[in-house]
Structure 1
Amino acid sequence: MILIRLIDGLNEIVGKAVSFVAVIFAGMIIYDVVMRYGFNAPTLWAFDLTKMLYGFYFVMLGGYALRHQSHVRVDLVIDNLRPQLRRVVDLLGYLIFFFPFTWVFVTKSWEFAMRSYAQNETTYGAIQMPVYPVKIAMAVAACLLLIQGISEVLKLVLNKPEQHYVR
């Protein structure tokens, strides 16, 4: 189904693009450590910026992780079930737990981001960087997670276990 391919493709692209952020903040941490201990000249910006980049990195990979079935699951229980019953349990899990959680995540993170933007919220460290870009990223990440959940449910409903149970 084209919708499944579009959603999976979007989260695949976002996941691969965002993975480069890890390289950036690792480089910033190394730079700060070298400056702090090698030259006794710590940076004022590195701590706040790496903290924000890590938050961005962490939340933006939620949809990608779900696409690759990397979220925490209770496999101990469902691995021993017949494939048909396993699908039913997975579907119930999405309907009872996943979708209500992601809906709250989407709506509350959007409100959180818009309040931050309206207040022009900044960090409280040595330099004051805007916080709202990371909070907007959280809302975007919540949307990516929600649509990836839709893709996973469609795979279950359309009986495409080879796509759903990718390891």
Structure 2
Amino acid sequence: MGVFVRFADRLSEASGRLAAWVFFAIGLIITYEVVLRYVFTAPTIWVDETARIGQIWATYLAAAFALKHRELIVIDVAFRKPGTLARKLTETFALLVIGLFCCVTVYYGFGLWLDATLRGHTTDTVLALPAWFTDASVWLGFALLAVQAGAEFIRLWSPRSSREEKG
């Protein structure tokens, strides 16, 4: 496989691991909130928003990892046999739709992020976090997904396109 495919795979693996740790951290802070609220009757003001922002980031970071491991979209009802032309064409169509959606989302998401950054927008919550932080997750996550979709497309049409090579 090419350098681009290996790079995309490593990037997706790293973003997937980061997403897993973010989900783990969310579990910890929610447990912390439950203990404080119900044991000590002292709820926090930051856990709810922090957990939501973490879920947003982790979800977008995990998308490329899910595609790499074929857990994002799986079509095998009609085209079960891998390697057939019909299966390759179906997967090509799915990857092109994903790629197109990603490009549109990155384009408009980056614009929203840039606007929020330049104008200094904040969230409408008690913490009033900078809006650019949550807006960045959208275009970054979809950019990662687009890169992985490109790698999957190359892998699909390369002469040595077995899924076992991915390692």
Question: TM-score higher than 0.5 here?
Answer: yes
**What is aligned with 2:102?**
102
The residue type equivalent to 2:51 in the other structure is: T
Post-superposition CA distance 1:45-89 (Å, at most 9, x none): 111111111111011111111111111333212215762221122
Matched, 1:125 2:120: no
Using the alignment, how far apart are the partners of 1:33 and 1:81 within structure 2? 47
Shift of residue 122 of structure 1? 1.8
Q: After the TM superposition, which parts of structure 1 deviate over 4 Å for at least 4 consecutive aligned residues?
A: none
Alignment of 1:2-21 (within 5 A): 2-21=3-22
CA separation of 1:7 and 1:80: change in aligned 2, threshold 3 A: closer
Alignment of 1:71-90 (within 5 A): 71-79=72-80, 83-90=84-91
Shift of residue 31 of structure 1? 0.6
Using the alignment, how far apart are the partners of 2:127 and 2:83 within structure 1? 57
Identity over the aligned pairs, expressed in percent? 21
CA separation of 1:23 and 1:82: change in aligned 2, threshold 3 A: closer
Matched, 1:145 2:145: yes
* Greater Cα shift, 13-22 or 53-62: 13-22
Q: What is the CA RMSD across the aligned residues, in angstroms?
A: 2.1
TM-score norm. by structure 2 comes to 0.89
Shift of residue 8 of structure 1? 0.7
**What is aligned with 1:67?**
68
Shift of residue 25 of structure 1? 1.0
Using the alignment, how far apart are the partners of 2:131 and 2:140 within structure 1? 15
Post-superposition CA distance 1:107-150 (Å, at most 9, x none): 11111211221232222222222221121122111111001011
The alignment partner of 2:54 has SS state of helix
Using the alignment, how far apart are the partners of 1:165 and 1:92 within structure 2? 22
**What is aligned with 1:43?**
44
The residue type equivalent to 2:34 in the other structure is: V
Using the alignment, how far apart are the partners of 1:153 and 1:119 within structure 2? 38
Using the alignment, how far apart are the partners of 2:25 and 2:84 within structure 1? 42
Aligned residues: 166
Post-superposition CA distance 1:27-51 (Å, at most 9, x none): 1101111111111111011111111
* Greater Cα shift, 85-94 or 155-164: 155-164
CA separation of 1:165 and 1:89: change in aligned 2, threshold 3 A: farther
Asked if the contact 2:18–2:58 (Cα under 8 Å) also holds between the matched residues in 1, the reply is no
Shift of residue 164 of structure 1? 7.8
Q: Which runs of 5+ in 1 are unaligned?
A: none
Asked if the contact 1:69–1:165 (Cα under 8 Å) also holds between the matched residues in 2, the reply is no
Shift of residue 11 of structure 1? 1.0
CA separation of 1:111 and 1:165: change in aligned 2, threshold 3 A: farther
Shift of residue 165 of structure 1? 9.6
